[in-house]
């Protein structure tokens, strides 16, 4: 094997004035875990929704899972920019996430309510990350987490608007 293929990723010290990058990276890893888990859950509901709300829920969840997928890369790259390693094990992602699976099939309305609650949970955790990033002089993570919280709050509102009777 060539020398260039033997490089193993490692943490690097990054000096940008951000304090306690380890804590921020951990908060970002939690946000990444939530995003990745919610991505799969949203996609699975997209595949399996049925009934009169099919078209609306199918299209909305597609827009949302595409955003979630793009966000996973942005979150992981911010962790790396802070000098830390992004998560590498799916088991760690699942364990760190506040998003939980359902054992039974849900109706379209129940899917919307379930996803709305999940988006609210993720937004709540992002609010804590925003506060921490501000305290630690990390405006970049603060802006990133604010943008992500905005997405999750809007997603919860839209899902609830569809599910409203």
pLDDT (tens digit per residue) in 51-68: 999 999 999 999 999 999
Q: Give the three-class secondary structure for 37.
A: helix
Mean per-residue pLDDT, 104-122:
96
Report yes or no on 6 lying in a domain.
no
Residues 6+ apart with CB under 8 A from 13: 83
Report yes or no on 11 lying in a domain.
no
- The CATH number given to whatever domain includes residue 46 is 1.20.1260.10
Mean per-residue pLDDT, 135-139:
97
Q: How many CA atoms are closer than 13 Å to the CA of 132, on its beta-carbon side?
A: 18
Distance of CA 108 to the CA centre of its chain: 22
Taking the C-alpha atoms of residue 162 and residue 61, their distance in angstroms, rounded to an integer, is 11
What is the structure's pLDDT at 1?
61
| Domain enclosing residue 72, as ranges | 19-99+107-163
What is the structure's pLDDT at 165?
60
Model-level pTM? 0.92
Report yes or no on 87 lying in a domain.
yes
Instruction: State yes or no: pLDDT of 22 exceeds 80.
Output: yes
Report yes or no on 24 lying in a domain.
yes
Taking the C-alpha atoms of residue 106 and residue 122, their distance in angstroms, rounded to an integer, is 21
Instruction: State yes or no: pLDDT of 2 exceeds 90.
Output: no
Report yes or no on 5 lying in a domain.
no
| Token pair for 147 | 């943008």
Q: Which of 135, 146, 120 is nearest to 38 (CA)?
A: 120
Report yes or no on 14 lying in a domain.
no
What total number of domains does the chain contain? 1
Report yes or no on 132 lying in a domain.
yes
What is the structure's pLDDT at 135?
97
Q: What are phi and psi of 139, to 5 degrees?
A: -65, -30
Give rounded-to-5 percent helix, strand, coil for the chain.
Answer: 75, 0, 25
How high is the mean pLDDT of the chain? 94
């Amino acid at each position: 094997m060539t020398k260039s293929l033997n490089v193993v990723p490692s943490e690097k010290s990054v000096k940008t004035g951000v304090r306690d990058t380890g804590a921020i990276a951990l908060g970002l890893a939690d946000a990444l875990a939530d995003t990745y888990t919610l991505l799969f859950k949203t996609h699975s509901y997209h595949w399996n929704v049925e009934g009169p709300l099919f078209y609306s829920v199918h299209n909305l969840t597609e827009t949302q899972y595409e955003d979630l997928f793009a966000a996973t890369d942005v979150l992981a790259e911010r962790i790396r920019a802070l000098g830390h390693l992004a998560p590498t094990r799916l088991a760690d992602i699942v364990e760190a996430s506040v998003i939980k699976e359902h054992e039974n099939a849900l109706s379209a309305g129940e899917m919307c309510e379930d996803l709305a609650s999940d988006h609210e949970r993720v937004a709540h955790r992002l609010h804590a990350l925003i506060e921490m990033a501000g305290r630690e002089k990390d405006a970049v993570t603060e802006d990133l987490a604010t943008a992500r919280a905005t997405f999750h709050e809007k997603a919860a509102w839209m899902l609830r608007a569809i599910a409203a009777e």
